[in-house]
């Protein structure tokens, strides 16, 4: 088990679409275990493999107060979404120090595999539904700030590029984020 580093926006690797998992082998099991350790340590209520620079469709989630409801979603797909939306504040372990309101469907039905490789289909509501949509965005290379206005996003990009420069990271190619 190991806590892995979480990529920080505007790292262009956060834009990599994740590939489907073919076989749930020891490597994927170790990945899941490291993802839980990294998520609980942060702490966060969800983590997509993308965030630790592994571009495979794996999500871990636990929205409970006691860290006792771990859930694994492999190759997750949203197969149905409610028409009704609500707006609530989101944050992201890859965009530390910024939170904002995002509008999303209030419930989604998800199809995928669990940690044992068994197929599931489940309807999620409330914070569960919001977290899943946020994590599935990560697997597609999207971030919650992509749902904000272009004005806000541009302002945030400049702010986080400056922070990255101050950490001594190399400048990005124009248009990379």
Binding site for Ni ion (CB under 5 A): 92
Q: Whose CB is nearest to ligand GNR?
A: 44
| Residue of 77, 135, 161, 169 marked catalytic | 135
Q: Kindly state the smallest distance separating residue 174's Cβ from ligand GNR, in Å.
A: 26
Q: Of the two residues 28 and 135, which places its CB atom closer to Ni ion in the complex?
A: 135
Nearest of 171, 175, 163, 166 to residue 8 by alpha carbon: 163
Cβ at position 95, least distance to Ni ion in Å:
7
Least Cβ distance, residue 91 to ligand GNR (angstroms):
5
Please report, in angstroms and rounded to a whole number, the separation of the first and last CA atoms in the chain.
Answer: 32
Q: Which residue in the shown chain puts its C-beta closest to Ni ion?
A: 92
- Give yes or no: 135 in active site: yes
Q: Residue 130 binds which one of ligand GNR, Ni ion, none, with CB within 5 to 8 A depending on kind?
A: ligand GNR
The site for ligand GNR (CB under 6 A) is made up of 44-48, 51, 90-94, 130-131, 134-135, 138
Indicate which residues carry an active-site annotation. 135
């Amino acid at each position: 088990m190991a806590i892995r580093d979480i990529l920080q926006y505007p790292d262009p690797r956060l834009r990599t679409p994740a590939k489907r998992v073919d076989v749930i082998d020891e490597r994927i099991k170790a990945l899941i275990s490291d993802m839980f350790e990294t998520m609980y340590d942060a702490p966060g209520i969800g983590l997509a493999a993308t965030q630790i620079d592994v571009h495979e469709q794996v999500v871990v989630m636990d929205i409970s107060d006691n860290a006792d409801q771990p859930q694994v979603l492999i190759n997750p797909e949203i197969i149905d979404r409610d028409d009704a939306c609500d707006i609530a504040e989101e944050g992201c372990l890859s965009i530390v120090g910024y939170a904002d309101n995002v509008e999303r469907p209030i419930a989604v039905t998800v199809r995928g595999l669990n940690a044992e490789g068994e197929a599931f289909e489940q309807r999620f509501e409330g914070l569960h539904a919001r977290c899943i949509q946020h994590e599935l965005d990560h697997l597609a290379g999207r971030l919650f700030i992509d749902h904000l206005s272009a004005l806000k996003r541009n302002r945030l990009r400049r702010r986080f590029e400056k922070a990255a420069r101050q950490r001594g990271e190399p400048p990005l190619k124009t248009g990379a984020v």
